[in-house]
Structure formats: C-alpha cells, structure tokens
Amino acid sequence: MDDPLIQALPPATDYLTYLTLLEYQLTPKRLPLLHTLLQDEKLTTNIGWDLVKLLLPMLPASTECLQDVARLGNPREVILRVSESLMQLQPEDADEDEKAGQGLPLHILQFNCLLGMLSVLHTRIQTKAPSRFIATSLQAALEAYATMVTNETTLAFLEFFREVSPSKRPAPPPRTASESSVLKVAAASAPDPEAEVSTPSPSTDNETLLVRKFIQFGLLELLKSYLLSFSSPMDPGMSWTIRMQEHLHPDLRLPGTKSQTDAYGSTKELKERDMVMGKLMALSRDVGIDNEELLSIISGPPTDQTAPLDFDEPPINPNQIPLERHGSLLLLAARAAGATLFTSGQPLRQVSVFPELSQIFNNFVGGHTNLDEVAFGQPHALLDSLLALTVYALQTPIEFPSSDTEFKDFVIILTACTSRQSHGIVRQIPAAIVQSHPSAETRFKLIYKILEDDHLASARDSAIAWLKDEILRSPQSADNIFQDPLYFWALLPALFKPVTAASSSSDLVASWSRLTQIQGPPLHSALNLYYLLLSSPSLRDRLQLDKTSKFFRNHVLNPLRQVFQSFEDDLTAKGGEGVIEAAVGEEMCQIGNARSIGLIGLTLDQIEETSSDAFGSDEGDLGEFSEAEEAKVSEIRKKVDIWE
C-alpha cells in the first residue's frame, strides 16, 4: 500500500493541505521518502519555504531534505524563512542539548545548515538588487552567531561569505574536524522562478560594491564576536603580543618553560584558532579590506565614526555601510601579527609610534582617570590587539614625539594596558618607549610623575623598574641626573609613600588588604631597589645614601614595622582578636602574610642590616642635605612637575 505522503501528493490535495499532512505524518523514518519526493521542482517550489521549521529539529537526518529546499524551493521565500529561523535560533542548555551529529550540539548543526542553505539561495536569486537580500540574511546570521560562537559556526559563516562574495575563489579542501562540519551543497539548483535579470550576478557596479561592503562589514563583526568569545580569565585568546615578543626576542623567553609559541604549535584547540584566523584574514584580503582604510578608521576620534548600520533601512550607497572601529583594530592587529609570525603573512606598512600609535591608543583606551579601568575594564582581545600593534611598530626606530605631554600620556596608557598581564615579556614593552626618549630629564619627569600621582598607582611597579634600569645602565658623569644625589633625594618621598598604622578594627582589615593586594608589589620593588643601591659601595657613595638613611628609618622602616606589628598582634595565635582572619579567612590571611608582608619584612631586615654596616646605627652619625641642597631639590620638584 502506498505511503500517505505519496497518496496525498498534489493534485490529490492542495499544497496547504499537503503541508498540514506533513506536519503530522513526517517522521525521521520518512525523511528518505520526502527527499525523493522533493526532487519534483514544482512541489518543492510550492511547499519548500514552509518545510524549513519542520525539518530543522530533525537534523542531521533531515540534511538532504533541507538541501533540496535550498536548491529547488522558491529562493526569495526560502531566504526569508531561513533568516527568520536564524533569528529564532537559540543555544540549548548543555544538559538538554544532546550531541546531534558529528559530535556537535543540535543548535550548531542547525546554524551551519541554515548558513549552507543561504549560500545556495543567494547564488540562485537573479535580481537587480541582491544587496537587499544579503542585508536580510546578514542581520539574522550575525544575531544568531553572537549567541553560539564556536570554530564550527565561524567556519560556516566564513564559507557563506566566500560563496556570496563577488570575487569568490574556490574553497580549499578541509584539513580539520571543524572544517568538515561546514555544509556544502554540490547538486544542481533550479533557476529563480521570479528572475528579474538573466544572470545571478549583480547588475550594476554599485550593487557589486554594496554586496562587497556588506561582506566586509559582516566579516569584521564576525571577527569581533570570535575574539571576544575567548573571555574567560584563563583563556589565552590569540596571544598575539606574547608570540610576537617571543619570535622577535627569543632571549627573553624563560628557560625550561613552555612558550606560547610552542603551545599554539602543539595544542589542538589553539592550532584550530590559528587556522580559523588564517581563513578569516585570507578572506578579508579577497573581499578588498584595505590596510590604509583600517588605519584611517582607527586613527580617527570615536566621535567622528559613522553611525551604526541600520538594517531596517538598508543603504543604497556603499559609503553608508561603516566598518566598525573595534573590528578594524582587531583585523589590523591580526594582520600585523601574521606578518611577524608566519611566512605566509602579508606585511603592512609600518605604523609609527608617534603620532599614529599614540593617537590610536588615545582613541580606544584614553580618557580614563583610573588606570585600573583600562587594565581590568577592557576586553583582553582589545588590549592584545593594541599591544600587538605596538610590538609591530617597535620594529623600526621610534620617531620623536611632538611634546613631552604626548610622550607621557602614551607611556602611561600603554603601561596600564600591560600592568595586569601575567607574562613579564609583555610588561617589558613600555620600557622600550621610555628608553627611546633622548632626554634624561623627560624620562626622569615621567618616572617622578607616576610615583608621585596616586591615580597612577598601577603603573608604579613599572616606573620603579625603569628607574632601576636608568640608574644601573647610566654612565657615570657629572650631568647624569639619574646618579645625581639631589635628583634621587627629590624622588625618594614619592618612591616610598607614607604608610600608617590602623586606628580601628575596620581600618586594620582595609590596611592589610591594601598592603597585601595593591601596595605590596610596588613597595617590595622600591625596597629591593633601595637595598640594591645600598649594597653597591660606588652607587651608595655617588647617591649619598647616608643622607637619605634618616628619612628611610623614620618614614619607611619604623612606620612599616609598626603596621606589621599591628597585623601580628591581631593574629589569634598571638592572642589577638583575629579581626583580619575573620574578614578574609584564615587561609587567605596566612597566604597574604607569607607572600607579601613576610617578603617585605625580610627585605626591611636586609636594608636595616646593610644600612647599619655602612652608616652605623646612631642617627647622630648620619649626614643630611644642606639648606642650599634642599633648596635645589625644591627647584627640581617644581621643574619636573611641569609638562608641555
């Protein structure tokens, strides 16, 4: 007996009735039969548009039927239904969304199938304005993609862009499991029953440009979503900056540790990221995204950027389709990294540190009064891209900045971008800019500014490192301000900010937290520097540290001893009330005391012993700067606080 799906075929029933029958009678077992029936072009043209929603939940078994709909259905109607399905597509909870096929969740298979259908449908439509259909599909696909960013969905999207591009190139064969998940339809398609023109290619140069600009726009939006998906604290992202530094400065790699370059060459997940980014960058060149245009976009002030694309009123002029500035930055940085790391990378013109890079940083992370807003408040992908461009720019000599203020502002914001990076090879980047300035006076002013300004606290550790490098590498000469005792004395109070004992229980906890979490690292660095200078007889004499010893004992050593004693007196093991332990937990209290307070205390012991050996323990034996010298120091402080 014939199957009901065969018996009810039009003209035995009308198409609406037949669709109703399919809704109730279609099962996974009947999908091969439906696939056979859909080879009837007339049938598929009339019912295909309404089968999309019915067939999507049955993937992957319904793949062939959905391909039939894309090849033989009315492309204009089916495109609208596919776009509608994409807008409604939502990832299921991990527990509910079982692996449907190829080890992938159902929503991923559905997204990839719908994108594959769009690739076929857009090549079938013969219209004078294909950009209108591209705009509809692009809006839906981008919204769906943003909720399910994976390597598989990214590759499917890139394949869609390649298929609809006016300058389409043949697709290379798949090399990874992620690439094999991309749906490609090989069977022939039916012509457009409502064709407006004789060929499916854009009918005017303007339409060609519109389609290409839509693809450029979509590609940058895709890139943003892809890179921002690597947002967990432990995710390395693309690690452009680290890998570029390792490639250009192999001497800076830590011996005996696995480099990020090694990780991206051996870890499957990270290798796939490089593969995806390679395809994306190749496609970006194919569709004509120009480096100079990207550089122009990111160099302009944010207020000058074109308004966001309005999909409700699709533009009729390519210039009305903006390339978003963050996506432009991410792509330009990826190209800079590719040109540095891979032989296949295509070089872009050199970006100058001053004024170009300085302006770019100001456009994206400038204007913050609190540097932690940059270090903690910006996406890792944005910071990595800015720093990767910096590494690329540093491969050529640094041009002289237009003013000391431009130099200061750029170094400070660059340092903020590196201050919370876990790799020392990244935190060293600002030092190259600092050392490039020919004026020792300007470099001193910069270090003084950071140490003196509490708003720049997160850059203190870096500034102390620069100061150490300046003192140790500077030649001994009369005009060397970094080995001038008066300049060092002018800097010392800023190097060691006052620390006072708490006056209440709440203040005690706050003081302990500040010292162990924020003030500890730069304070330890400052103490280490002072100890290093004390330990060198030549530097000790040259900087006249005997005249600073009284200040250090009264304003640094003794106050810190008092603060540390208050922490110790609070410990329950010492008979204290345990206020700190109650607030932060006993284990955290032990860790903070050992890693921060314990290390600082050990350095204080070393300084005290070395100072006593060098200058004696009697304050009466210690020298002091004369009134004339103090007057000069006041003039130095006034002078270094002026920026032009």
DSSP 208-233: HHHHHHHHHHHHHHHHHHHHHT--ST
CA atoms of 434 and 389, how far apart (whole Å): 17
Pick the last residue of a domain from 453, 483, 513.
Answer: 483
How confident is the chain (644 residues) per 10-residue block, as mean pLDDT?
86 94 94 96 95 96 96 95 95 61 87 96 90 94 96 97 84 62 63 64 74 96 97 90 94 83 93 96 95 95 83 86 95 96 83 96 91 91 97 94 96 94 90 95 96 92 96 75 95 91 82 88 95 95 94 93 90 87 90 90 95 85 89 94 83
For residues 58 and 124, membership in a common domain is answered with yes
Question: Which string of DSSP letters, residue by residue, matches 457-507?
Answer: GGGHHHHHHHHHHHHHHS---TT-GGG-HHHHHHHHHHHS------SSHHH
Token pair for residue 219?
A: 């590609």
**DSSP label at 57?**
G
For residues 532 and 617, membership in a common domain is answered with yes
CA atoms of 430 and 410, how far apart (whole Å): 9
CA atoms of 164 and 447, how far apart (whole Å): 54
CA atoms of 134 and 634, how far apart (whole Å): 68
Beta bridge partners of 99: 105
Question: Which string of DSSP letters, residue by residue, matches 445-466?
Answer: HHHHHHHH-GGGGGGHHHHHHH
- Report how far Cα 532 is from the mean position of its chain's Cα atoms: 37
Residue 640's identity, in one-letter code, is: V
CA atoms of 247 and 395, how far apart (whole Å): 12
Token pair for residue 178?
A: 């992620």
CA atoms of 636 and 480, how far apart (whole Å): 14
Pick the last residue of a domain from 213, 229, 245.
Answer: 229
Question: Which string of DSSP letters, residue by residue, matches 517-570?
Answer: HTSHHHHHHHHHHHHHHHH-HHHHHHTTGGGTHHHHIIIIIHHHHHHHHHHHHH
Please give the pLDDT value at position 637.
Answer: 93
Beta bridge partners of 105: 99
CA atoms of 236 and 239, how far apart (whole Å): 6
For residues 436 and 568, membership in a common domain is answered with no
For residues 464 and 521, membership in a common domain is answered with no
Is 238 contained in some domain? no
Pick the last residue of a domain from 434, 453, 483.
Answer: 483
Is 322 contained in some domain? no
Is 249 contained in some domain? no
Backbone conformation region of residue 450, classed left if phi is above 0, alpha if psi is from -120 to 50, else beta:
alpha
Is 599 contained in some domain? yes
Q: Assess contact for 357 and 437: CB atoms under 8 A.
A: no
For residues 45 and 85, membership in a common domain is answered with yes
Residue 334's identity, in one-letter code, is: A
For residues 426 and 354, membership in a common domain is answered with yes
For residues 407 and 541, membership in a common domain is answered with no
Burial of 317 per CB tally in 10 Å (0-12, 13-18, 19+)? exposed
For residues 462 and 529, membership in a common domain is answered with no
Is 185 contained in some domain? no
CA atoms of 76 and 125, how far apart (whole Å): 7
- Report how far Cα 552 is from the mean position of its chain's Cα atoms: 42
Q: Which domain range does residue 601 map to? A: 494-643
CA atoms of 408 and 354, how far apart (whole Å): 12
For residue 133, give the H/E element and its range: helix 130-145
For residues 32 and 134, membership in a common domain is answered with yes
CA torsion sign for 190, 195, 197, 203 is negative
CB atoms within 10 A of CB 147: 13
Is 194 contained in some domain? no
Token pair for residue 240?
A: 């452009």
pTM score, whole prediction? 0.91
> Residue 11: is the preceding peptide bond cis (ω within 30°)?
yes
What is the maximum alpha-carbon separation in the chain? 116
For residues 453 and 541, membership in a common domain is answered with no
CA torsion sign for 257, 263, 266, 267 is positive
CA atoms of 550 and 621, how far apart (whole Å): 10
Is 283 contained in some domain? no
Q: Residues 405, 409, 415, CA angle at the centre, nearest 5°? A: 145
Q: What are phi and psi of 99, to 5 degrees?
A: -65, 120
For residues 355 and 413, membership in a common domain is answered with yes
Please give the pLDDT value at position 200.
Answer: 46
Q: Considering only CA atoms, which of 389, 285, 379 is closest in space to residue 334?
A: 389
The structural domain count of the chain equals 3
| Helix, strand, coil percent values for the chain (each to nearest 5) | 65, 0, 30
CA atoms of 640 and 444, how far apart (whole Å): 8
Is 239 contained in some domain? no
CA atoms of 71 and 53, how far apart (whole Å): 17
For residues 475 and 499, membership in a common domain is answered with no
Residues 288, 289, 295, 301, Cα dihedral to 10°: 120
